[in-house]
Amino acid sequence: MVLSINNLTKRYGYLAALSGVSFSIEKGSVFGILGPNGSGKTTTLGIVLGVINSTGGSYQWFDNQTTDNPRKRVGAILETPNFYHYLSAYKNLQIAADIKGVGYHNIEGMLKLVNLFERKDYAFSTFSLGMKQRLAIASALLANPEVLVLDEPTNGLDPQGIAEIRELIIAIAKQGKTIILASHMLDEVEKVCTHAVVLQKGKVLTSGKVSDILGSNDIIEIAAWDFEKLESLAKSHPMIKSLIKNNAGKLELTFSGTVATSDLNDYFHKQGVSISHLILRKKTLEAQFLELIKKGT
Amino acid sequence: MMKLLSIEFKKVLSYSAFWVFISLYAALLLLVFLAFATFKMPGMPSNMPTSNPLFIFPALWHTLTYVAGWFNLLFGVLIVILITNEFTFRTVRQNIIDGWSVNQFVSAKVLLLVFLALAATIYVFLIGIVYGLIASPSKTGADIFGQMDFVLAYFVQALGYFSFALFMGTLFKKAGMGIIFFLLYTKIIEFLIGLPLPDKIENCLPFHSMSKLISFPIEIPGMSVDTSPLGIQFGFALFYSCLFILGTWLLLKKRDI
Percent of chain A with pLDDT over 90: 45
Cite the residue boundaries of each domain of chain A with CATH code 3.40.50.300. Answer: 3-213
Residue B257: which of A51, A72, A84 has the nearest Cβ? A51
Flag whether residue A49 sits within 8 Å of chain B, measured between CB atoms: yes
Q: How far apart are CA B27 and CA A239, in angstroms?
A: 87
Check residue B165 and give its pLDDT.
97
User: What is the pTM (predicted TM-score) of this model?
Assistant: 0.85
Check residue B223 and give its pLDDT.
67
Topology adopted by domain A219-281? Alpha-Beta Plaits (3.30.70)
Lowest mean per-residue pLDDT among A8-22, A208-222, B9-23? A208-222
Residues from chain A that touch B89, judged by Cβ atoms under 8 A, are 82-85
Q: Would B32 be classed as within a structural domain?
A: no
Indicate the Cα dihedral angle A288, A289, A290, A296, nearest 10°: 110
Other C-beta atoms closer than 10 Å to the C-beta of A87 total: 23
Question: Are the Cβ atoms of B93 and A95 closer than 8 angstroms?
Answer: no
Check residue A250 and give its pLDDT.
87
Each residue's pLDDT tens digit, B110-163: 999 999 999 999 999 999 999 998 888 877 888 888 888 899 999 999 999 999
Nearest residue of A to residue B85, measured between CA atoms: A84
B89: closest CA among A206, A106, A64, A123?
A123
pLDDT score of A197 more than 90 = yes
Each residue's pLDDT tens digit, A149-173: 999 888 877 888 888 888 888 888 8
Cite the residue boundaries of each domain of chain A with CATH code 3.30.70.100. Answer: 219-281
pLDDT score of B230 more than 90 = no
Check residue A215 and give its pLDDT.
59
Domain span at residue B207 reads 54-254
The three-state DSSP-derived secondary structure of A147-180 is EEEEECCCCCCCHHHHHHHHHHHHHHHHCCCEEE
Number of domains in chain B: 1
Residue A296: band (very low, low, confident or very high) from pLDDT cuts 50, 70, 90: low
Which one has a higher pLDDT value, B231 or A200?
A200
B249: closest CA among B83, B112, B103, B99?
B103
Residues from chain A that touch B254, judged by Cβ atoms under 8 A, are 53
Each residue's pLDDT tens digit, A107-119: 999 999 888 999 9
Q: Would B38 be classed as within a structural domain?
A: no
Residue A4: band (very low, low, confident or very high) from pLDDT cuts 50, 70, 90: very high
The mean pLDDT value for B78-90 works out to 97
Check residue A46 and give its pLDDT.
95
Averaged pLDDT score across all residues of chain A: 88
Question: Are the Cβ atoms of A99 and B91 closer than 8 angstroms?
Answer: no
Each residue's pLDDT tens digit, B43-81: 655 554 445 778 888 889 999 999 999 999 999 999 999
Question: Are the Cβ atoms of A52 and B257 closer than 8 angstroms?
Answer: yes
Diameter of chain A measured on Cα atoms: 77
Q: Would B105 be classed as within a structural domain?
A: yes
Each residue's pLDDT tens digit, A259-269: 788 888 888 88
Residue in B94, B100, B107, B257 to test binding to A, most A beta-carbons within 10 Å:
B94
Check residue A25 and give its pLDDT.
95
Each residue's pLDDT tens digit, A129-155: 889 999 999 999 999 999 999 998 888
Which CATH class for the A3-213 domain? alpha beta
Question: Residue B130: which H helix or E strand, with range?
Answer: helix B102-135
Residue A94: which of B10, B97, B99 has the nearest Cβ? B10
Q: Would B17 be classed as within a structural domain?
A: no
Residue A99: band (very low, low, confident or very high) from pLDDT cuts 50, 70, 90: very high
Residues from chain B that touch A84, judged by Cβ atoms under 8 A, are 11, 15, 85, 89, 91
**Residue A76 main-chain phi, psi, to 5 deg:** -145, 145
Distance from CA of A210 to the nearest CA of B (A): 28
Flag whether residue A201 sits within 8 Å of chain B, measured between CB atoms: no
Residues from chain B that touch A50, judged by Cβ atoms under 8 A, are 96-97, 101
Q: Would B216 be classed as within a structural domain?
A: yes
Flag whether residue A31 sits within 8 Å of chain B, measured between CB atoms: no
Check residue B41 and give its pLDDT.
61
Interface confidence, given as ipTM, is 0.90
Each residue's pLDDT tens digit, B3-46: 999 999 999 999 999 999 999 999 999 999 998 888 766 665 55
Residues from chain B that touch A51, judged by Cβ atoms under 8 A, are 93, 96-97, 256-257
Each residue's pLDDT tens digit, A37-71: 889 999 999 999 999 999 999 999 999 877 678 99
Peptide bond into B42 cis (omega under 30): no
Residue B98: which of A52, A53, A96 has the nearest Cβ? A96
Residue A286: band (very low, low, confident or very high) from pLDDT cuts 50, 70, 90: low
The CA angle B111-B112-B115, to the nearest 5 degrees, is 85
Q: Would B20 be classed as within a structural domain?
A: no
Check residue A252 and give its pLDDT.
86
- CA of residue A274 relative to chain centroid, distance: 43
Contact of A124 with A155, CB cutoff 8 Å: no
Each residue's pLDDT tens digit, A167-194: 888 888 888 899 999 988 777 787 788 9
